[in-house]
């Protein structure tokens, strides 16, 4: 089940310059920064607003830290801009399983650790009408699910 748009991923060449643009233009501030070595990116998460399920909607700005990562390859082909859309779900494993059963290729099986201790996977863009799609279970959802399981 999808509960929200979790974030829009935007690929950029210069993270600091792009953050400054969103700060000056829209008043958005950086909530979290992180280097995700496994994916070869440095990210900044800018909180846009809260959502009904207690999470938030974000802009995720992505700058490659290696030339061999997927975001660097994407930037070379397409230039700066929207890289992916991420949908929030309380259970990324179940959502990925349902997508797989529907014939959609799941990129990370099992899901991996993502930004801010979330669990994530991607769905192949050729199976999603040309859109690289990410499924995300936030750390908060994981903690709530763990608390319910322990009750």
Catalytically annotated residue among 39, 43, 63, 83: 43
Whether residue 134 lies in the annotated active site: yes
Catalytically annotated residue among 39, 60, 63, 83: 60
Catalytically annotated residue among 39, 63, 83, 84: 84
Whether residue 60 lies in the annotated active site: yes
Catalytically annotated residue among 7, 39, 63, 83: 7
CA dihedral 116, 85, 19, 30 (to 10 degrees): -30
Whether residue 43 lies in the annotated active site: yes
**Contact predicate 11/62, CB 8 Å:** yes
Burial degree of 146 (CB within 10 A; 0-12, 13-18, 19+): exposed
- Residues marked active site are found at 7, 43, 60, 84, 134
């Amino acid at each position: 089940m999808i509960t929200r748009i979790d974030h829009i991923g935007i690929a950029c060449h210069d993270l600091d310059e792009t953050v400054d643009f969103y700060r000056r233009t829209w008043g958005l501030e950086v909530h979290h920064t992180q280097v995700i070595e496994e994916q070869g990116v440095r990210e900044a998460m800018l909180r846009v607003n809260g959502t009904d399920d207690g999470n938030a909607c974000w802009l995720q700005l992505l700058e490659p830290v290696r030339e061999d990562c997927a975001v660097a390859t994407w930037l070379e082909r397409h230039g700066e801009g929207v890289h992916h859309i991420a949908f929030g779900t309380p259970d990324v494993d179940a959502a990925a399983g349902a997508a797989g059963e529907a014939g959609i290729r799941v990129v990370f099986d099992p899901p991996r650790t993502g930004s801010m201790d979330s669990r994530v996977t991607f769905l192949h863009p050729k199976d999603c009408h040309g859109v690289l799609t990410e499924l995300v279970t936030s750390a908060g959802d994981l903690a709530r699910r763990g608390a319910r399981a322990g009750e």
